[in-house]
């Protein structure tokens, strides 16, 4: 599993660095032109970077290295687990960037910060996990569109509910946090279970 994970992390770094450099250059140019740092501008480009990185890394993998690692002492289960751990690492790092942007932004974004931490981050991971197992089954890069639609759908539905009932729901933050943890664990487990199943079918074929 370590060999698969190491190889994937190395490829992820090759994908991430050019994009991070490009986004960084845009933010730096914005600072030079405006003469000040814009939190909103940062959040917009951070979201673009996060979505692009996740889709490129999670759904750009065509599992071409499957047969290579199957000739080594690596099981389908370990191979599948390594792929999902890679996605989890990318998800955590990109979510951290987004959270830093929200934390350092103006007070009016605190509602979005609370909403993201309390529930949307778990639904975001659920969307990524579900989209990944679908990708594992069909190997279609268009799954990134499904991921985007799920994010927008969950964000709109639960965002509207949360914002209209903010004063009431904020009192249930511990319940939301526990629920989010459960959602993330279940998402990881289901992704591992079905991705492993689909990969085993590919190996047989």
Closest to 168 (Cα-Cα) out of 118, 205, 123, 104: 118
Q: What is the pLDDT of residue 192?
A: 93
Q: Tokens representing 151?
A: 């994010």
Q: Tokens representing 95?
A: 């979510």
Task: Give per-residue pLDDT as tens, 112-159.
Answer: 777 777 788 899 999 999 999 898 888 777 888 899 999 889 888 887
Label residue 178 exposed, middle or buried (CB < 10 Å: 0-12, 13-18, 19+): exposed
Q: What is the pLDDT of residue 205?
A: 40
Task: Give per-residue pLDDT as tens, 76-115.
Answer: 888 888 889 888 988 998 888 878 777 776 655 567 777 7
Other C-beta atoms closer than 10 Å to the C-beta of 108 total 7
Could you tell me the pTM of the whole model? Answer: 0.79
In this structure, the chain runs to a length of 205
What gap in Å lies between CA 139 and CA 73, rounded to an integer?
A: 25
Say if CB 147 and CB 127 are below 8 A apart.
yes
Task: Give per-residue pLDDT as tens, 151-177.
Answer: 889 888 887 887 788 778 778 888 888
Q: What is the pLDDT of residue 174?
A: 85
Sign of the torsion formed by the C-alpha atoms of 21, 22, 24 and 28: positive
Proportion of the chain in helix, strand, coil states, percent, rounded to 5:
90, 0, 10
């Amino acid at each position: 599993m370590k060999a698969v994970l190491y190889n994937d992390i190395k490829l992820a770094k090759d994908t991430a660095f050019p994009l991070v450099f490009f986004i960084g250059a845009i933010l730096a140019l914005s600072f030079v032109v405006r003469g000040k740092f814009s939190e909103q501008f940062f959040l917009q480009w951070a979201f673009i970077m996060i979505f692009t990185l996740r889709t490129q890394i999670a759904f750009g993998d065509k599992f071409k290295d499957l047969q290579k690692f199957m000739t080594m002492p690596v099981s389908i289960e370990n191979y599948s687990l390594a792929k999902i751990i890679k996605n989890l690492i990318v998800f955590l790092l990109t979510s951290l960037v987004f959270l830093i942007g929200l934390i350092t932004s103006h007070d009016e974004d605190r509602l979005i910060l609370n909403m993201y931490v309390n529930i949307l981050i778990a639904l975001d991971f659920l969307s990524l996990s579900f989209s990944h197992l679908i990708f594992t089954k069909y190997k279609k890069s268009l799954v990134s569109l499904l991921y985007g639609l799920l994010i927008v759908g969950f964000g709109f539905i639960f965002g509207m509910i949360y914002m209209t009932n903010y004063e009431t729901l904020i009192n249930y933050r511990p319940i939301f946090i526990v629920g989010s943890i459960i959602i993330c664990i279940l998402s990881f487990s289901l992704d591992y279970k079905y991705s492993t199943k689909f990969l085993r079918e590919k190996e047989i074929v």
